[in-house]
Amino acid sequence: MGETRENETQDVDLTAINTIRFLAVDMVEKANSGHPGAPLGQAPLAYLLWTRHMRHNPDDPDWPNRDRFVLSCGHASALLYALLHLAGYGLPMEELQRFRQWGSKTPGHPEHELTRGVETTTGPLGQGLGNAVGMAIAERLSAARFNRDGFPLLDYRIWVIASDGDLMEGVSHEVSSLAGHLRLSQLKVFYDDNHVSLDGPTDLSFSEDVEKRFQAYGWRVLHVDDVNDLAAMEAAIAAAEAETERPTLVRVRTVIGYGSPNKAGTSKAHGSPLGPEEVIATKKALGWPTEPTFLVPDAAHVPFDAARERGRKLEADWEALLRAYRAAHPEDAADFDRRLAGKLPDGWEASLPSFKPGDKPMATRAASGQVINAIAPHLPELVGGAADLASSNETLVKGVPNFTAANPAGHNFYFGVREHGMGSTLNGIALSRLWIPYGGTFLIFSDYMRPPIRLAALMKLQVIYVYTHDSIFLGEDGPTHQAVEQLAALRAIPNLTVIRPADAVETAEGWRVAVGHRHGPVAFALTRQALPILAETAEKAREGVPRGAYVLSDPADGPPQVILIATGSEVALALESAKKLAEEGIKARVVSMPSWELFAAQTREYQESVLPPGIRKRVAIEAASPMGWHKWVGSEGDFHGIDRFGASAPLKDLIREFGFTPEKVSERVKRLL
Ligand SMILES: Cc1ncc(C[n+]2csc(CCOP(=O)(O)OP(=O)(O)O)c2C)c(N)n1
């Protein structure tokens, strides 16, 4: 009797696993595009996680204490869509049949927010793993903040499937090293060890001992020799689940294109459909009906429906816990509810420091540091740090503990010299919706973290980048460290807001904007060198910075002949240049433009009030690449910037040699006029 039931369970398991496999295969085949190989190999692992281990409720993909699932190898998206369909996330069969088509919920790679239940956007290999590390950090932070005796409000786990490509990517080294250091035990990673990547067998380029590598990071490391050995898989997953000290890596041996007589185990199963004949051969080999396609036998629903019932119960129990928590800890609960509702604390803006024109000149990085320190106590969700440049970036909140393995209640982060990993981790923290993370490094090294910046923008995540040393005017470190093309490169990313403040006042206003900007990342470009605090900004930045650009000064006598548009450290230069031009009888308006993106979002009326179409003589001044400035200066305008690499020299020499003086600017204006 017992044996019969066991056999029946095994039949159901196999039916469900093959259902996942062939939904994925049929999706790829119908789209004539995609990756069938990884889903064929990974299906048993994913099946066990989704039906037996993950605590999730498909009815409510936003349940705060749900386990997270990250398919870091986003190219295996068909696997995830099959799972979402079967698990009951409301992804209908028609969407599986529209895989990779215009307007479908099943794009080529999983996209967060587009498809219910997709926890993060993956596809660029390595990023999912980095996000998962951030999610595990957020879990620790949140548990430390909200859990109380008898109220384990947050204790979710992060389950990841990562492929060879994920582990080859440099970012995986950064984040896995960090995860081991921080002992993020809620993180459970399954490495799909199938010996194949796109170009062929992995031994073309990848031969380290992955288990030893992760052991060296301080992870718990396990392995399973055959993903189809469900008992062995169960044991490994249970061991990963029981681990409470370290992150876990389970190396799972799978076969890419499992079941395909002619393509299994080769890169031919990787990035293109199996082809009609091979699909039939594969279905036959695994004992699956060749018709109809997109077959879901009733039996396949059984384990998923049971998991869904369990999930409903888990969330209902958690809701009861939350109700009791609200009664026992009303203030904590109010903070929790407020954050999840996407609201900022009342009155936080009152804590913004005010800087005055009489104050000593100050680097905008220093002003930013003062702002962070002033607002942090009033904005408990603000957490962050730097990639080993906290002292330069002024990202440290004084008197607040560091986030460490021993003290996850700390809010200051040491990401180490890992810009890429920091960026990817910040995205994972932001995905919790309970924290607003920031991270700092030199502007030049935004290049080292561009992939996660782009993904933050794509996912509309609130992440704040605190970049300093924003131009050649950092001085003696020289051209390797002097940003020239980075502003243009960042401005090219859709949905990223770049803010380059002119002084301390604009910096504080920039932070007001950044904290209030809930649906996309913001990057600050801040100076190393001190800048005067301008009388004009003190008066106008409060209104002007949120609008991206505003008139700082106009000629006293009549309409301007020319507009000087400047950002950051060049705004003071523009004001001086306008004075010099006035002495020579030339009337210039000065516009401060801390953010192109904010200005571009204004009404045409406002834009034309700042840059009247009738004034076609315009000179933009920015110590950076000219790329893109024609948008604002027009075809009759000119640009005073830099179109070469910088140089190693003291600040005053760079100012002279690169011509950032009122004399040089007014010469250019006169040439233009
Ligand atoms: C950063 C990045 N580089 C390149 C690619 C293109 N790409 C997609 S899958 C893949 C190979 C992946 O091999 P593996 O990770 O072993 O996956 P499998 O072949 O086992 O499915 C490559 C190079 C990518 N998605 N992301």
Residue indicated by tokens 């749900």: 66
Summarised one tens digit per residue, pLDDT across range 469-490 is: 999 999 999 999 999 999 999 9
Mean pLDDT, residues 50-74 taken together? 98
pLDDT at 5 over 90: no
Angle at 470 between CA 469 and CA 471, to 5 degrees: 105
From the list 169, 419, 536, 597, the catalytic residue is 419
Distances (CA, A) of 624 to 27, 157, 645, 658: 47, 44, 9, 11
Q: Which of 33, 35, 72, 75 to mutate to test the pocket of ligand 1 (most atoms within 8 A of CB)?
A: 75
Tell me which DSSP letter residue 397 carries.
P
Tell me how far apart the alpha carbons of residues 125 and 172 are, in angstroms, rounded to a whole number: 9
Examine the residue annotation and report whether 8 is marked as an active-site residue of this protein: no
Tell me how far apart the alpha carbons of residues 425 and 419 are, in angstroms, rounded to a whole number: 10
The b/e string for 23-32 (b: 16+ C-beta within 10 A; e otherwise) is bbbbbbbbbe
Summarised one tens digit per residue, pLDDT across range 338-378 is: 999 999 999 999 999 999 998 999 999 999 999 999 999 99
Q: What percent of the chain has pLDDT over 90?
A: 98
pTM of the model: 0.98
Tell me how far apart the alpha carbons of residues 304 and 49 are, in angstroms, rounded to a whole number: 11
pLDDT band at 8 (very low <50, low <70, confident <90, very high): confident
Nearest to 531 by CA among 477, 567, 580, 579: 567
Q: What is the pLDDT of residue 3?
A: 66
Task: State the pairing for strand pair 362-363/530-531.
Answer: antiparallel
Q: What tokens appear for 480 in the block?
A: 């390797």
pLDDT at 154 over 90: yes
Separation of CA 111 and ligand 1 centre (Å): 17
Contact criterion met (CB below 8 Å) for 430 and 456: yes
Summarised one tens digit per residue, pLDDT across range 605-638 is: 999 999 999 999 999 999 999 999 999 999 999 9
Separation of CA 463 and ligand 1 centre (Å): 27
Mean pLDDT, residues 324-335 taken together? 98
3-state secondary structure labels for all residues of 36-80: CHHHHHHHHHHHHHHHHHCCCCCCCCCCCCCCEEEECCHHHHHHH
Mean pLDDT, residues 579-594 taken together? 98
> Would you say the CB of residue 446 lies under 6 angstroms from ligand 1?
no
pLDDT at 1 over 60: no
